Every structure is written in C-alpha cells, then in structure tokens.
A and B are shown apart, each in its own frame.
Chain A
Amino acid sequence: MNAVSTGEQVAFWILGSLAVIGALGMVLARNAVHSALWLVVTMLNLGFFYVINSAPFLGFVQIIVYTGAIMMLFLFVLMLVGRDASDSLIETLRGQRIAAIVLGIGFAALIGTGLARALGSTFTVGLDKANANGNVEGLASLLFTKYVFAFEVTSALLITAAVGAMILAHVEKAKEDKRDQVTRMKERFRPGNYPGPKPGPGIYANTMSVAAPARLPDGNGAERSISPILPVRELSQAEAAPKGTEK
C-alpha cells in the first residue's frame, strides 16, 4: 500500500491537462493534419503516464508504436488523400451536435464522479508483486501463460485485417488492360476508330444538362459526347430546351 507522492501528483496534473487539451484539440481542429498532431500530444502524455505508473514497457510501446508508427501512417494517409478535404459542418439531424455535447459531458461527469467516489480512498495494491521479476518479464509471463490463447487468437484478427485491406483497396489489373504504348497507338489509328479527343457534352452550349449530347453540324446529337456511365433518362422540358443566349 503506497500513497501517491507529491511529484506524481504534480506530474499528473500537468500531463493530464495536456492530454485533455490534446484530445479536445483533436476533436475541434478543422484541419485533419492538425487533428492528427493534437492526437500525438495526447498519446505522448498517455505514454508518460504509463511510465509514471510503473509500466515502462507499456509506456515505450505507446510512444514507439502508437505515436511513432501508427500516427505517422495516419499522416501518410492524410497526405495521400489530400489534406484539403475538410468535414462538412452541416447537421443532417437537427440538434444532433448539441445533444451529443450534452450527453458526452453528462456521461463524462457520471463516470468521473463514479470513479472519484469509488476510488477516492483506495490505494494501489499488488504493484510491487506484479513488477517483482521486472516489468517486461511480468508482462511476458502473463501473455504466454494465462492469456496465451487470446494472444494467439489475435493473429486471426491481424490476418483478417490484412485480407480486408487487400479486398477494399487493391484492384487487380486484368491482362488485357496491360497494353504497351505501341499497341494503344495502333488501336487508336485503326480504321473505324476516331483518333481525336471526344467532344464535350452539350452543357453550357445549348442546355443545362451534362446528359444532353453536343450537336453535330447537321443538328443531330453526338452520342460520343456523353459519358457512358450516366444513367439514361428522359430530359425534362426545361433541360432539353435550348438555352437563351441573349438577355
């Protein structure tokens, strides 16, 4: 049984405030990159907490794996996707944001007061025993004895994650898609193929719809000017009518 020392208390209040500020910053920052960097602050502070609480291994894993590797991956992905993409702030459900804030604060208060009431007079128990053989050794003996099955089954989770990432992100290229420049050039100038760029659709020129074809000189629509993935539909009167060019 050991009480909390003054040094630990001082460290807790400083690091704890920083961690909360980081978490708030992560939620409130508009820019995704700033969000990620705020999250780094929170994670670093959590790492320090673990070290202070006699779990040095966990602390270093937190800093090296989470803050180091995973957050850098985050940033990588953000940079690839484009950091300009920002969230739309329009609420789809009215009053959702207010309700979420109220409920969130209420839940935090509930958990906070519950914990304070429950643990206000509790002292640490069994810490020295757990770290008797050294922190890493203690962790290892738990992982490879008591929780060995959970540890092994985690591999199934990792395999699933890898397979899932492949399924959702990898496009296989069919053999016929892999053509060199010469074949493509020959195909382009083969008789029957029009080698020039396709005409744009009739939008702006005479109607308001991209589904309206451009006009050929004889007045017919140019079918090649419409993208084939557009669903075919009847144009409304207003869409099909020629656009007045003079005021």
Chain B
Amino acid sequence: MEQLKLPPIDYGALLPMLILFGAACLGVLVEVVVPRRARNAVQLSLALLSVVASLVAVVLERGTRTITIGGAVAVDGPTLFLQGSILVLGGVSLMLIGERSIERGGVFVSQAAVTAGSQKDAQQAGGQPGATEVYPLSVFALGGMLLFVAANDLLTMFVALEVFSLPLYLLCALARRRRLLSQEAALKYFLLGSYASAFFLFGVAFIYGFAGGIQLSVVHEAVANPQRSQVLLYVGLGMVAIGLLFKAALAPFHVWTPDVYQGAPTPVTAFMAACTKVAAFGALLRVLYVAFEGVRWDFQPVLGGIAVLTMFVGAVLAVTQTDLKRLLAYSSIANAGYLMVGVLALNDEGLSSTMFYLVAYGFSVLAAFAIISLVRDPDGEATHLSKWAGIGRKSPLLAGIFTFILLAFAGIPLTSGFTSKFAVFGAAVEGGQTWLVIFGVITSMLLAFPYLRVVVLMWLSEPGESTPAVSIPGFLTSAVLGLGVLVTVALGVVPAPLIDLTREAAQFVR
C-alpha cells in the first residue's frame, strides 16, 4: 500500500480560522487556570485579540485566490470579504457580550445548571458574575462561520454548519433573566436546527449520487453534463437549500426565528442577527453561484417564490407584534427576503450588492439590539412595546438614535438601509428579476409601518408611571452604538468605498 500523503496546505489562507479555533481552545483552558475574579477580563481580551489577529490575517491574505487542503477550502474574493465582515461584526458583538456594567454580573447566567426559579437561582440572579464560557463558545461559532463561507465541498460545509450552530444553541440557553424562556428558545433552536442539518446531509447524499462527488466544481461539471437522472439533482438541491434557508431564516423555514430571538440573551440575538446571517448567505451564494449555476432557470422561480413569501411574512407579521425583540426578528426575516432578491440576480452585481447589504444590515441590527439592552425595568429588559411609550421625552438621545436606526431599517435615503436596498434591487432588475423587485418595494412600504409606529410611540405619547429607566451604557455598549450609527450613516452618505470593495471581491474561484 502506498504511503498516505497530506494534500498541499496553504496555511496562510487557513490562518484566520486556525487562529480562532486555537484561541477558543485556549479560552477553554483559561476557564480552568485563571481565578474566577480575573476570568472575565482575560477571556474578553483573549476573544477580542483573536478576532483582531484573525482580521489582520484576512487583510494580509486579501490578494489570495486559491483552493487548498485537498479542495476542501476555497479562499477567494467573496470568502475573504465575508470572512472579514463576519470578523468585524463578530468583534462588535463580542463587545456586547462582554458588557458587564448595565446589569450586575452581565446578561449571562452564572450557573446554567441551577433549576430556574429555585431559591439558588434567585441568589445567583442577584449579581453573581455571569458564565465566562460564553467567550470560547462565541469564538468557536465565529471560527465555524469563517469555514462555512469558505467551504468548497458540501461535507466540509456540513461540518462547518454544525461547528457554528452548536455554540449558538448553547449561548441561547444562558440568559440571566427569564431563564425558562431562554431555555425553551435554545431547545427549539436545537431541535429545528438539527432537523434542518439532517435535511442538508440527506441532500448532500443525493448530490453525491448525482455527481459522483461533493466538491462544488465536480457538482458544477455534473450539472453541465449530467450522467445520471436529474431527479437526484433536484431533490438534492432542494434539501441542501432547506438546510441553508433555515439558517438564513427564510419563510417557510423561519418559524424558529421570533421565539429564539426573543428568548436568547440580547447580545446573542444581536450576534445571530448579524453574523449568522452573513455566514448563511455566504454559503448560499457559494452553493448557488459555484455549483448549481447550470440549473439557474430551474431554481430561480422557486427561490424567487420563497423570497416573495419571506418578504410578505416578515412585513405583515412585523405589523402585529407587541414585543420589540419579536418585531426585530420579523424585520430580520423580511430583510432575509431582500437579501434573497440580491442573491437571485445571479450576476456579479447581485453577489456584490448582497455582500454590501449583509454588512450594512449587520451594523444597524447590532446597534438596534444594543439599545434594547439598555431599556430596563426591575424585571430586566423592558421589551414590550407599551413600555416604550414616551421614552423620547425621558431620554431623547437614546430615542433619537433608535429612531435613526429604525428609519435606516425602513430604507430612508441617506442611511445604509436605502443604499443597500437600492443596490440589491438594481442588481435584480439587471438580472431580469423585476417581479421580485416589485414585491420588494411593496413590502418595504408595508414594513415601514411597524417601524414608524414605534417611532410615533416613542415621541408622541406621554411617559407613564411604568416607563422604564434607560441605563447608562458602559464603555463597550457605547462603542457598539457609536460604531453602528457611524457605519449606518457612512454607508448611506458615502457608500462608494465599500461598494468598490465588494465589486473587486465579487469573483468566485471554482
């Protein structure tokens, strides 16, 4: 038998992921070695440092266009851009996760194994420091996301999917307040997520049967020149798509989103809304553009229908929500629909505008959830809409920022929301998908209604007895808020540099 030889490995190209995985393992060791008092500071700096180091590695590799380690990882323009945006958004989310000054001990529970509602739980809710395992878990999730957008074969993509999902399931269960809701959210996310993963894996098996391989380039060739029945291809593509659409929260695979967004601790919700979305759409783009481009005429109408359904479900149900976190969850579903419009343009313009949208939306949504974490009453965050009535009179600055973010979501000009929507709709028209754009514009107008309702509620009602106090943000949350607003303005006023960057990056290697 011949000697096994490792395939050539471009360690430089893999460095961003290797740094994160290494740092996460180190973080697990820190849990053991470092005394409890110093743990939070050490873990937070380690996590942020690793993200920065990883980002530097991505920037250094910006010229790389290669497929490495036996064809498992493709490092090209979209990969590097998406990895960079995941890292930037992830770093900002880590700051939210690391915030410990708004509530004593932070938003995470100290010991998740203590029965919710017991006497011991009441004690630990009072101010015991939150679990620090959240940092290594978040870094593991980030590492998985980097691999997810870079995976060049479906098996690696599946492993990456699991690597970033599992920490997210865990993080969802670790809220300090309303623990039963948080645990329920985690369980729902876990069960539905594993179901979607099973679909993905089953689909991969079908694709393997069709193409005789699972590398995206092999699938591409087989699609162009089919050797076996195309039924295998369509069933496989459908099931792989279900797995990816679930993570991206498109209707009808969106049902987990409101419950999970509401139950999870707010920083984790922000992390999911910003980073998971980038990762899921990154993988979806790669699969559709690289592997299945040959059957675009077959999947375009189906996925287009899904995009329209998603936009309508998100926009219509957002109108009926009374909880702010749920409202933002439905808004994120609708935004997934707009992103899908960009994806379905299936040209370079569509690729670059989708990537632009992901970054712009990520920053706005991080700022939005940062504000939600600040408005609190004695029971924790006051997310019910009625509690927000008249908050503009009590703290105009915060209400002003939130109004600005909501207007950005609604797509008012001079905000990033406008430029990004304009970009994806323009790309879709160019790609011959005008019908999607029509539905997109209609739902955008529908979706403006719930946002404006919140704005009116904040400014035009009288503050009542139960209007909650607004906590003074700590340094980390202030930084997140500042960054979010700054980027939302900047991408609305001078979007050109980022658009140029996405255009330069918009070329997959096969």
Residues of chain A touching chain B, judged by Cβ–Cβ distance below 8 Å, are: 111, 114-115, 117-119, 122, 125-126, 133-134, 137, 140-141, 144-150, 153-154, 156-157, 159-161, 163-164, 166-172, 228-229
Q: Say which residue of A119, A134, A160, A167 sits within 8 Å of B174 (CB atoms).
A: A167
| Contact between chains at A141 and B133 (CB < 8 Å) | no
Within 8 A of A (CB), among B5-31: 5-7, 14, 21, 24-25, 28
Closest to B119 in A: A229
Contact B159 A148 (CB under 8 A): no
Question: Given A137-B1, A146-B7, are A156 and B70 also a contact pair (CB < 8 Å)?
Answer: no
Q: How far is the CB of A129 from chain B (nearest CB, A)?
A: 12
Q: Nearest Cβ distance between residue A149 and chain B, in whole angstroms?
A: 5
A166 vs B114: C-alpha distance in the bound complex, in angstroms?
12
- Is residue B111 contacting chain A, with contact meaning CB distance below 8 A? yes
Within 8 A of A (CB), among B134-169: 136-137, 140, 143-144, 147, 153, 155-156, 159-160, 162-163, 166-167, 169
Given contacts A111-B235, A133-B1, contact A163 B133 (CB under 8 A): yes
Sample 19 A-B pairs with CB under 8 A, ordered by A number.
Answer: A114-B235, A118-B228, A119-B232, A122-B228, A133-B1, A144-B4, A145-B4, A146-B71, A148-B6, A148-B69, A150-B72, A156-B24, A160-B170, A161-B166, A164-B167, A167-B170, A168-B170, A168-B173, A229-B122
Known contacts A114-B231, A114-B235, A171-B113, A149 near B69 by CB under 8 Å: yes
Q: How far is the CB of A197 from chain B (nearest CB, A)?
A: 17
Closest 5 CB pairs of A and B: A118-B229, A118-B231, A146-B70, A164-B170, A150-B159
B112 at the interface (CB under 8 A from A): yes
Residues in A neighbouring B166, C-beta threshold 8 A: 157, 160-161, 164
Question: Complex: how many Å from CA A166 to CA B140?
Answer: 16
Residues of B within 8 A of A (CB): 1, 4-7, 14, 21, 24-25, 28, 69-73, 111-114, 117-119, 122, 131, 133, 136-137, 140, 143-144, 147, 153, 155-156, 159-160, 162-163, 166-167, 169-170, 173-174, 209, 212, 228-229, 231-232, 235
Minimal beta-carbon separation of A136 from chain B (angstroms)? 11
What chain B residues lie within 8 Å of A160 (beta carbons)? 137, 140, 163, 166-167, 170
Whether the Cβ atoms of B136 and A163 lie closer than 8 Å is yes
| Besides the known contacts A134-B1, A156-B21, 5 further A-B residue pairs in the complex with CB atoms under 8 A apart | A118-B232, A147-B155, A153-B21, A156-B143, A229-B117
Asked if residues B155 and A150 are in contact (CB atoms below 8 Å), the reply is yes
Query: Which residues in B have their C-beta under 8 angstroms from that of A154?
Result: 159
**Pairwise interchain contact B71-A145, C-beta atoms closer than 8 A:** no
Minimum C-beta distance from B165 to chain A (A): 10
Contacts of B170 in A (CB 8 A): 160, 163-164, 167-168
CB pair A159–B160 under 8 Å, yes or no, is: no
Query: For A166, what are the chain B residues with a Cβ–Cβ distance below 8 Å?
Result: 133
**Nearest-neighbor residue (CB-CB) of A168 within chain B:** B112
State how many angstroms separate the Cβ of B60 from the closest Cβ of chain A. Answer: 20
Q: Enumerate chain A residues within 8 angstroms of B229, measured Cβ to Cβ.
A: 117-119, 122
Cα separation A69 to B122 with both chains bound (whole Å): 38
With a cutoff of 8 Å between Cβ atoms, the chain B residues found around residue A111 in the complex are: 235
Give B110's nearest chain A residue, CB to CB.
Answer: A172
Shortest Cβ gap from B320 to chain A (Å) = 19
Please name all residues of chain A whose beta carbon is closer than 8 Å to the beta carbon of B69 when the two chains form the complex: 148-149
In the complex, the answer to whether A145 meets B70 with C-beta atoms within 8 Å is yes
Residues of A contacting B136 with CB < 8 Å?
163
- Decide: A156 and B144 in contact? CB cutoff 8 A: yes
Assess the A157–B162 pair: CB atoms within 8 A.
Answer: yes
Q: Given A160-B167, A167-B133, check contact A147 B4 (CB 8 Å).
A: no
Asked whether, in the complex, the Cβ of A167 is within 8 Å of the Cβ of B156, the reply is no
Cβ distance B128 to chain A, nearest Cβ, rounded Å: 9
Contact A149 B114 (CB under 8 A): no
Contacts of A161 in B (CB 8 A): 166
What is the bound-complex CA distance between A189 and B102, given in angstroms? 42
CB of B4 within 8 A of CB of A171, answer no
In the assembled complex, which residues on chain A have CB atoms less than 8 Å from the CB atom of B137?
A: 160, 163-164
Q: Are A159 and B140 CB-contacts (below 8 A) given A153-B163, A154-B159, A167-B170?
A: yes
A170 contacts B113, C-beta separation under 8 Å:
yes
Residues of chain B within 8 A of A145, CB atoms compared = 4-7, 70
B4/A163 in contact, CB under 8 A = no
Contact A167 B131 (CB under 8 A): yes
Nearest-neighbor residue (CB-CB) of B121 within chain A: A229
Q: Looking at the assembled complex, report how far the CB atom of B70 sits from the nearest CB atom of chain A, in whole angstroms.
A: 4
Q: How far is the CA of A168 from the CA of B111 in the complex (A)?
A: 8
Minimum Cβ distance to chain B for residue A57 (Å): 15
A156 to B27, CA, bound (A): 12
For A144, the chain B residues whose CB sits under 8 A away are: 4, 6
Contact of B118 among A119, A149, A156, A229 (CB under 8 A): A229
